[in-house]
Amino acid sequence: MIEIIPAIDIIDGKCVRLTKGDYDTKKVYDDDPVEVAKRFEANGIRRLHVVDLDGAKSRHVVNYKTIEKIADHTSLVIDFGGGIKTDEDLDIAFASGASLVTIGSIAVKNPELFESWVERFSPQKVILGADVKNGFISISGWQEEADNQLMPFLKKHTEGGIENVLCTDISKDGMLEGPAIELYKEIMAAFPDMHLIASGGVSCIEDIEALDAAGIPAVVFGKAFYEGRISMEELTRFL
């Protein structure tokens, strides 16, 4: 059964969502991400994807105090991403309570450093962030498009030991129009042993059911839940 992973995106310490990664579309859903995390845990959720959007934009970890508070007040497994660019950023993320980290930009700009992190912390703790737009990887909070095509990028890093990949179709993100199921099927066909985490576009419980039927191992979702299109009751069948 597919693993469901709610997302908390943070700007200025608040729980927000963007559309297609555009910071001008910011919508605040809750002033206290810790309370949001506690509600998820109370309803049986065990894992959380937390994105430091301030960090992604400023290119260093910013909202680590929020991670500390979530870790202190819940037992959730925290997957943290956004702004991890240096050894210090990585150490801060883990010291603040993250169990896993999602890293994208450094895997593009400094693959040797990324590979050293995978070796240092293990492939179980480092998730490759593959944010894709028109077949190419986007980095730096989706503010910059790289020259890397998605499939060769995935091939390079899976050969380097990566097992877990969070793939976001940026064109779908926040649009509530359904996920890029065909893209995820293509990835799974090429890399059948990958633990693929689908992200972007989930609009209703039927989208999660479709991803499950397609054999996608895990899904990150956010806006559909915050907008009331998916209820906690509907999610319980996947817990």
Where in the sequence numbering do the catalytic residues fall? 9, 131
Measure the CA–CA gap between 81 and 122, rounded to whole angstroms.
16
At 138, give phi and psi (nearest 5°). Answer: -110, 145
Handedness of CA 42, 74, 124, 107 (dihedral sign): positive
- Rounded to a whole number, what is the distance in angstroms from the first to the last CA of the chain? 9
CA nearest to 197, candidates 206, 187, 205: 187
DSSP per-residue string spanning 71-124: HHH--PEEEEESS--SHHHHHHHHHTT-SEEEE-HHHHH-HHHHHHHHHHH-TT
Measured in whole angstroms, the distance separating CA 116 from the mean position of its chain's CA atoms is 21
Note the helical H segments in the chain: 33-42, 53-58, 64-73, 87-95, 105-109, 111-121, 150-159, 181-190, 205-213, 223-226, 232-235
